[in-house]
Structure 1
């Protein structure tokens, strides 16, 4: 079974439904990434043993 044959039913289902996929809110995604990076920055600077 080829990839094209396996993806054909999926393509037809996605083409028929107009609201099948709701993307994530960019504000929430960016805010979550910022919070995770700030936590990693805090942990990196807090446990730095090269002082």
Structure 2
């Protein structure tokens, strides 16, 4: 789900289907999409720290 909402911030693994962040630091122009991805994550696996 997160890689569809924020494709510039998450990459989907072709082998196991899990998504991983592209970087530990979220660029300002991607912050809204990453927040939306975090709220939409069915596993609640995305944690945003300031």
- Which interval holds the TM-score relative to the shorter structure? under 0.3
Instruction: Indicate the structure with greater helix content.
Output: 1
What's the TM-score, normalizing by structure 1? 0.27
Instruction: Indicate the structure with greater strand content.
Output: 2
